[in-house]
Chain A
């Protein structure tokens, strides 16, 4: 075992740090460190900055325009990004649809889809969940029926993150009804500009509106937009999730919030109270353990399969996001009760008119939204089912 970062990895970290310090504008940094989500202009701006440096797809192979970094370097990059208050690389583009397209798509599809993602010109949204298919995703019913060179798509998706600002939606659709539910699902890319698509944002409990309902009404999608083979979409998605299993630990985000919480609690003096201080220390220890779990997955090929990693990381990552947010609103005290408007750009003109410290605006919003962390991405109850199934050998 080797417990130190190599000199090369440390130099790599410094290079990332210097890049962000030089390129990230203050208004973006400020908004992210308040806990608000990015807007499309911010995401476009930062993706283009990264693209100019060749870093917009940290986890893609070099041949598709990625960096070719090791999983450990990608981990370092993400921590530096979050802690500095820079937008993360667009998860749906770079962690989800991109790898499926270069893993299973035709050459024509790769040439069409990947370059504009890399350059920050197109953004994709994930259309998997449906009103009747949440935890039981395989029961999805949005149908795609072949008609000549097109599929005709009818149905409804829900909780589609970023659909309101996206250029296309990558979907799981039903193309066969005869066998097991998982066996009749295909992976289809749907251009948002096609006629018959209706997008309706869902206002969330914190005022944000980046989750959506998406309705497909006889949408004609070219057959060339099918990724891989018909009826194999479920398998592609599972393969992908096996490769991306450390993301759900949310270490970069936890590290950012932990640093901010410590700074604020030091400023307010709350850190001097033993009760608060010890609860914060307990959460910090849990985060350290989770980061070492991530490092085990990233660096030890013998250990990882045995450790039921994906579900453990998802459960702890989501629970710790919630635990940190609970401490953050406690630290903020009375101002946590305020309903701050969701900022739609960087100017935040209303801030001066409302009480509370200037960083208060995203704290309660984050707390409220994070109740969803134990629900999405396979609820924590589903994750426990998976762990138990593996442990009981069933």
Chain B
């Protein structure tokens, strides 16, 4: 048991911090770019190796594990990067865990090198965090497969080159289909999230996929989707942690510079105590994320579910408190588009919504076997 960063982890963190410092001035360009992906920034992300960092060497990764991913996403959250690192990593992990051995490297190489963006289209409107819930169907016919169903709010689907779509074949086994995004262009209703990411609702009713689009089918697909989502939840929690840290720093600075009644408002104890509660919430969030990382490395799936859902529940509670206090302590300027604190608030709000709410994750925590 030792939470000190290893030499490699510390070096990675330094390079992340360095890049994200620079990102602040470039973020407006990312927000304005088509689908929230600025080509120059994305090229840098690729060169920094943020996509393969956490993957094992045998699939073309750097072997730095889940710790690398939380460091990366904490940095991303600190600077509110909008580029689809989380979504790309989620798709990559599903491929790494579910694709046939022979195709895995060939699919991941162009994803890691930035040549092709693959996005997982799995979530459905009724799931609310339950990744087992898949109502999309694929029925075999002479042309290959005829699809039905709907995929909800797929993060970064607009701008993807390929989509990895989950559906049950003939109402039973879960399968993954890899299709060109252009094939589904007319079926996407594209939107922007409150924190600036591109997303899409995908209507699959009547879509036809060729037989060769089938990438994988069987129990390993459900397992891959489960595990990959647990990694993504912990990564998203780390993103929220980074955003909370920045929100705290910006708020503390604001309290010191804003004057009312002839004194800096930081001199008021009522405001100091709100700030202190933000600190407590952030430290607890940082700690439970370590619990989440520990759970990801567990071989036991119940223990993994338990630790990850604990992280989701606690970090979303912290994110709500920190976001709300940060806005409150800024006063009127806090609810404007112009002030960055409102962007942090929206990022933290989006985190609480994504990957299932407190109700789902509390239940999942309870029903997963006692691992501690």
Contact = CB atoms under 8 A, between A and B. Distances in A.
Given A300-B2, A392-B266, A285 B276 contact: no
A288 interface: yes
Given A387-B280, A391-B275, A4 B1 contact: yes
A388 B290 CA distance: 25
Interface in A1-28: 1-6, 9
Contacts of A288: 288, 291, 310, 372
B195 to A, nearest CB: 25
B280 A3 contact: no
A344 B67 CA distance: 51
A384 B273 contact: yes
Contact of B6 (A1, A284, A293): A1
Given A1-B9, A387-B280, A9 B1 contact: yes
B293 interface: yes
Of the candidates B9, B276, B291, B294, the one having the most CB atoms from chain A within 10 angstroms of its own CB is B276
Given A292-B287, A381-B273, A278 B1 contact: no
Given A282-B313, A286-B314, A2 B1 contact: yes
B273 A289 contact: no
B1 A72 contact: yes
Contacts of B5: 1, 302
B279 A3 contact: no
B56 interface: no
Contact of A3 (B287, B293, B363): B293
A189 interface: no
Given A285-B313, A286-B284, A384 B277 contact: yes
A372 interface: no
Contacts of A296: 3, 286-287, 290
B244 to A, nearest CB: 13
Contact of B67 (A1, A292, A384, A385): A1
Query: Interface size bucket, A side?
Result: 35 or more
Contact of B283 (A282, A284, A293): A293
Interface in A279-295: 281-282, 284-286, 288-293, 295
B297 interface: yes
Nearest to B249: A391
A3 B279 CA distance: 24
Given A72-B1, A281-B362, A316-B284, A292 B291 contact: yes
A303 B362 CA distance: 29
Contacts of A388: 266, 272-273, 275-276
A2 B294 CA distance: 9
B4 interface: yes
A36 to B, nearest CB: 27
B293 A1 contact: yes
B104 interface: no
A393 B275 CA distance: 13
A370 B366 CA distance: 27
A384 B266 contact: no
A281 B288 contact: no
B366 A281 contact: yes
B166 to A, nearest CB: 29
A2 B3 CA distance: 6
Interface string A290-313: 111101100111110001110110
A315 interface: yes
A277 interface: yes
A392 B287 contact: no
B272 A289 contact: no
Interface residues of B, number: 41
Contact of A312 (B272, B279, B310): B279
Contacts of B372: 288
Contact of B279 (A285, A286, A308): A308
A299 B279 contact: no
Contacts of B284: 286, 289-290, 293, 312, 316
B363 A278 contact: yes
A391 B248 contact: yes
B1 A289 contact: no
A277 B256 contact: no
Nearest to B292: A292
Given A3-B297, A303-B3, A381-B273, A285 B288 contact: yes
B320 to A, nearest CB: 14
Nearest to A384: B276
Nearest to B255: A392
Nearest to A280: B366
A381 B270 CA distance: 10
Given A277-B366, A285-B310, A392 B288 contact: no
A9 to B, nearest CB: 7
Contacts of B4: 1, 299-303
A308 B269 CA distance: 18
Contacts of B285: 289
A64 B287 CA distance: 34
B366 A2 contact: no
Contacts of A295: 1, 3, 287, 290
B272 A385 contact: yes
B274 to A, nearest CB: 9
Contacts of A300: 2-4
B272 to A, nearest CB: 4
Please give me the 3 A-B residue pairs with the lowest Cβ-Cβ distance, nearest first: A388-B272, A292-B287, A384-B276
Given A296-B287, A312-B283, A387-B275, 19 more contacts: A1-B3, A1-B6, A1-B67, A9-B1, A72-B1, A282-B362, A290-B284, A290-B287, A293-B287, A295-B3, A295-B287, A295-B290, A296-B290, A302-B5, A308-B283, A316-B284, A388-B273, A391-B248, A391-B275
25 contacts: A1-B5, A1-B9, A1-B293, A2-B2, A3-B294, A72-B1, A277-B366, A278-B366, A281-B366, A286-B314, A292-B288, A292-B291, A293-B284, A293-B287, A295-B287, A295-B290, A296-B287, A301-B4, A302-B4, A312-B283, A383-B276, A391-B248, A392-B252, A392-B256, A392-B272
